[in-house]
Structure 1
Amino acid sequence: MDFLQLPMRTAGNRTYGLTSIADFGTPLGRLQQILEDYHHIIDIAKIGIGSAYVTPNLQRKIDLYKEYKIKPYCGGTLFEKCFYQNKIPEYFSYLRKLGIEWVEISNGTLDIPIKERLDIISQAKEDFYVIAEVGSKDGNEDMPISAWKEEIQLFLEAGCEYVITEGRDSGTAGIYGTNGDVKSNLIQELVKGLDCRKMIFEAPTAKHQMYFINTIGPNVNLGNVKLDDVLVLEAQRCGLRSETFYLEETNAAYLDQAPAH
């Protein structure tokens, strides 16, 4: 029964309002149980860090995600390992063999020049949907706001489907300080001149998720979400938690004019 007025949520094969989970080794049987109940509130699944390369039953896991209409891809660390060892063609072949249609191009560990990343994106988008990542995994590296905006814009213009803002699974780098606090000035500047429907903000904790929901709206794209947290996150998006309790039915933030998908 639907009798409450809740914030309007995107649904189905949505293009924004995404929940992107990080899978750091969920056993296949447990994953099946979780997806049976919660697949409708999961859009993207990242096989975290470089773990895909050593994951047992990887093909079955990829097939399971796809069976539930969830888009799987490998974490950017695996891409960077392949870049470091000059194995990008082999990596792309590996993804095609697995039936993975999405690829992340990142430089969280390595310092890959922007031109090289754009060249790789140009190659990758012939066969894959591309997600680029901006920001470093080094919590002590403070990237200027202008550089964040410039890279995000360049990646979107290059044809990336989405751009991820680095936050790590710990929430202590990139868009966060080493103490875990959101760099709110950075976020406010990013959403001013860029389409936040094309950005995925890594938000591994409820504290981070609630910040973005209250700042940008219930249909903000959130990444690095733990599998065990997807239902609580959906409740937060729907104003069913104290910290998001007063979200309006049509949130008057950055996403309220966006058409539903």
Structure 2
Amino acid sequence: MNFLSIPKRKTGNRVCGITSVIDLGIPLGVLQSILEDYSPYIDFAKIGIGTAYVTPRLQEKINLYKAYHVKPFFGGTFFEKCYHQNKLKEYVQTLNEFEIEWIEISTGTLDIPLEERLQLISMLKNDFHCLAEVGSKDNSFDMPVDDWKQEIKLLLEAGSTYCITEGRDSGTSGIYEKNGEIKSNLIHELIKDIDVNKIIFEAPTPRHHMFFINEFGANVNLGNIKLTDVLALEAERCGLRSESFFMEG
């Protein structure tokens, strides 16, 4: 159908308007069905937390995503576990073996110094597209706004393609309060000096989706999207939900 005035969505190999889903163990058969119908609305797939290490038929899953032009990558917790055990060399070898082209550099569980993360990106950016996650999974830690801004700026300058703002799959840390409320003042401060198209906001629930869509438009980058929410999110982006009803083309 093509008769309504709705926001114009980016299509094809999007560089903004990104939808990055989180895969926490969806079976291959179910994934195949979802991708057959909804893959045009999906850009990235994070094989979340450390599930890639224990996923059966992992290569088949990676190949399936790629067949539908979705970019797979491993969750940051897997990266941090390897960092903690001094296994980053083995981690990189694993990414190469599975032909994963994107790498997430995060510090959600470990407190990895910014300088080390910058060095890692500088070292890896020639072989991978880098995604740098900023913010802690510890919801008792309130990172100052200036630190958020400095880290994002420096990580992008070092060669990260995008920065991901931590929100967890529960929406209760990082850019969110413990109760799931959005730190809207933080978000507005971030985008004063940083290109919003270089940020992927983790937004695991419809309430979070709608905040970012209403603030930044249909083509805001969103991450940690549940596979079952992909179609509803696309409708939200197109002004086809009550909360985004008055968005027009």
Q: TM-score, normalised by structure 2?
A: 0.99
Residue 52 (structure 1) aligned with residue 26 (structure 2): no
Deviation at 1:77, TM superposition (A): 0.2
For residues 171 and 182 of structure 1, the distance between their equivalents in structure 2, rounded to whole angstroms, comes to 9
The one-letter amino acid of 1:143's match is M
Structure 1 match to 2:215: 215
Structure 2 match to 1:254: none
Structure 2 match to 1:185: 185
Return 5+ residue gaps in structure 1 as ranges: 250-261
Partner SS for 2:207: helix
For residues 150 and 180 of structure 2, the distance between their equivalents in structure 1, rounded to whole angstroms, comes to 24
For residues 69 and 3 of structure 2, the distance between their equivalents in structure 1, rounded to whole angstroms, comes to 29
For residues 18 and 40 of structure 1, the distance between their equivalents in structure 2, rounded to whole angstroms, comes to 11
Structure 2 match to 1:144: 144
Partner SS for 1:171: coil
CA deviation map 1:171-204 (0-9, x unaligned): 0000000010000000011111100101000000
For residues 247 and 162 of structure 1, the distance between their equivalents in structure 2, rounded to whole angstroms, comes to 26
Residue 93 (structure 1) aligned with residue 97 (structure 2): no
Correspondences of 1:14-29 after superposition (within 5 Å): 14-29=14-29
For residues 55 and 37 of structure 2, the distance between their equivalents in structure 1, rounded to whole angstroms, comes to 23
For residues 148 and 5 of structure 2, the distance between their equivalents in structure 1, rounded to whole angstroms, comes to 37
Structure 2 match to 1:11: 11
Deviation at 1:236, TM superposition (A): 0.2
Deviation at 1:44, TM superposition (A): 0.1
For residues 216 and 173 of structure 2, the distance between their equivalents in structure 1, rounded to whole angstroms, comes to 20
CA deviation map 1:47-99 (0-9, x unaligned): 00011000001000000000100000000000000000001111000000001
Partner SS for 2:17: coil
Instruction: Provide runs of 4+ in structure 1 moved above 2 Å.
Output: none
Correspondences of 1:195-210 after superposition (within 5 Å): 195-210=195-210
For residues 243 and 159 of structure 1, the distance between their equivalents in structure 2, rounded to whole angstroms, comes to 36
Return 5+ residue gaps in structure 2 as ranges: none
Q: TM-score, normalised by structure 1?
A: 0.95
Equivalent pairs counted in the alignment come to 249
For residues 248 and 157 of structure 1, the distance between their equivalents in structure 2, rounded to whole angstroms, comes to 35
Deviation at 1:139, TM superposition (A): 0.6
Deviation at 1:244, TM superposition (A): 0.3
CA deviation map 1:26-54 (0-9, x unaligned): 00011000000000000000000011000
Correspondences of 1:222-233 after superposition (within 5 Å): 222-233=222-233
CA RMSD of aligned residues (A): 0.5
Residue 155 (structure 1) aligned with residue 155 (structure 2): yes
For residues 139 and 248 of structure 2, the distance between their equivalents in structure 1, rounded to whole angstroms, comes to 35
For residues 128 and 76 of structure 2, the distance between their equivalents in structure 1, rounded to whole angstroms, comes to 14
Partner SS for 1:108: coil
For residues 149 and 248 of structure 1, the distance between their equivalents in structure 2, rounded to whole angstroms, comes to 31
The one-letter amino acid of 1:158's match is A
Structure 2 match to 1:123: 123
Deviation at 1:248, TM superposition (A): 2.9
For residues 188 and 156 of structure 1, the distance between their equivalents in structure 2, rounded to whole angstroms, comes to 18
For residues 171 and 247 of structure 2, the distance between their equivalents in structure 1, rounded to whole angstroms, comes to 24
For residues 157 and 217 of structure 1, the distance between their equivalents in structure 2, rounded to whole angstroms, comes to 25
